[in-house]
Amino acid sequence: MNEVNDRVARLSELISAQGAVLSNPAMLLPANPFFDLAGEEFGRRLLLTNGANDEDYCLRPDFTLPIAMDFLRDGGDEQGRAFSYLGSIFRQRAQGPVEFTQAGIEFLGQKNRDETLENTLNFALKALEIYDIKPDILLGSVEVFESLLKVIDIPQVWLPRIRHRFGQPKAMNRLLDRLGKPQAPIADLKAQNREALITKITDQMMADGLSLTGSRSPEEIANRYFEKQQLAATPVSAKTLEILRAYLAIKGDASDSLHEIEALAKEYNLDIFAPLKRLTKHIEFLKAQNQVSSIKFDASFSPRLDYYTGIVFQMIFNSKTIASGGEYNRLLERLGAKKQMNATGCAIWIDRAEEAKK
């Protein structure tokens, strides 16, 4: 037990040494911001309770969101700030305990992305060193994938849909299959043009007592109807799908993966070299750290939350994720920041690290 306390003490020391403000957000938080940000899939993991005013509250499921909200509430410092934390989080699970100890760091609004990411990786490695863990590192890059989407030949409307399936290989495969061989067009509504169809949909919505503005509008429905008819007439090109499939299949040793991506980019003349160069730089940084066991890259790896942006990572030991994090430059805007602000951080699962120590 003394050893455990000793490690926690060393961890606290490390956390204080980051030049960061030690943050301790409330244990009981309004639940809605979590649902708004992360949706139902994360929402199901919350431990909920009701206030007398019918508002839902949850036990703190995560540190990032309350820290980011506090940062914005305090004016969202232009120069950026760093926060660290060590404490309990609560998540529902099918079995087992629901309280976990997490330690972590958040860099919010910092200008120098590369330096911030290095600091984050460095912090995670140092924290794991306290537990004698030399992790396997899994890297993913949201920015390489997003820049790939910008340079391939595909109708604009599909981009967000493809993006939303990034990090969900099964759903992504189904979508790519569908784009390659679209189904027969949906029943012909005998609507010769867009206006006629909009009128028809409007009439039906009114007859069924639906608001024309509260949910999907007649225009929106008609547009997507014609978009489907068009896809059936001209599917996405085989070449585009080939590029996407080939890219998403790349995984393995990080340096080998980089070569494969470069080869793919050259073969199809895809200008994705800027984010690739950045990825290379951070792989080099990790290679220079001696407490890293291996570095792998998986092109289809990403957290399933769409505010992640740049490089994302997991640190794995005995096939358990002990630390995870990355860049989420869309988070602060999602939470109401007036302009885009960088955010980088990571969380360490202390219970798993302690488990590995045993």
DSSP string, 299-351: TT---S-TT--SEEEEEEETTEEEEEEEE-TTHHHHTT-SS---EEEEEEEHH
Check: CB of residue 185 under 8 Å from CB of residue 224.
Answer: no
Tell me if 215 contacts another protein by CB under 8 A: yes
94-113 binders of another protein (CB under 8 A)? 94
**Residue of 218, 275, 303, 326 interacting with another protein (CB under 8 A):** 218
CB atoms within 10 A of CB 256: 13
Q: Which is nearer to another protein, 31 or 315 (CB)?
A: 31
Q: Which is nearer to another protein, 8 or 210 (CB)?
A: 210
Rg (CA), the chain: 23
CB of 95 to another protein, least distance (A): 9
Tell me if 61 contacts another protein by CB under 8 A: no
Interatomic CA distance for residues 168 and 84, integer angstroms:
30
Contact code string over 321-350 relative to another protein, x by CB under 8 A: ------------------------------
**Residue of 13, 36, 132, 253 interacting with another protein (CB under 8 A):** 36
DSSP string, 5-54: HHHHHHHHHHHHTTS-EE----SEEESHHHHHHHHHHHHTT--EEE-TTS
Tell me if 4 contacts another protein by CB under 8 A: no
Tell me if 211 contacts another protein by CB under 8 A: yes
125-164 binders of another protein (CB under 8 A)? 157, 160-161, 164
CB of 59 to another protein, least distance (A): 17
CB of 237 to another protein, least distance (A): 19
**Residue of 1, 52, 207, 233 interacting with another protein (CB under 8 A):** 207
Candidates 218-226, 254-262, 316-324, 342-350; binding stretch for another protein (CB under 8 A) = 218-226
Helix, strand, or coil (residue 111) = coil
Closest CA to 67 of 19, 110, 26, 38: 26
Helix, strand, or coil (residue 77) = coil
**Residue of 197, 241, 295, 299 interacting with another protein (CB under 8 A):** 197
Number of residues counted as binding another protein (CB under 8 A): 44
CB of 283 to another protein, least distance (A): 29
Check: CB of residue 315 under 8 Å from CB of residue 187.
Answer: no
Interatomic CA distance for residues 348 and 315, integer angstroms:
9
**Residue of 34, 85, 225, 317 interacting with another protein (CB under 8 A):** 225
Token reading at 296:
């792998």
Tell me if 186 contacts another protein by CB under 8 A: yes
Tell me if 251 contacts another protein by CB under 8 A: no
Tell me if 168 contacts another protein by CB under 8 A: yes
Interatomic CA distance for residues 84 and 121, integer angstroms:
14
Interatomic CA distance for residues 42 and 64, integer angstroms:
14
End-to-end CA gap in the chain: 11
All residues at 6 or more sequence positions from 274 whose CB lies less than 8 Å from its CB, including other chains: 147
**Residue of 75, 209, 233, 290 interacting with another protein (CB under 8 A):** 209
Tell me if 49 contacts another protein by CB under 8 A: no
Give the residues lining the site for another protein (CB under 8 A): 35-36, 39-41, 43-44, 94, 157, 160-161, 164-165, 168, 170-172, 174-175, 178, 183, 186, 189, 197, 201, 204-205, 207-211, 214-216, 218, 220-222, 224-225, 227-228, 304
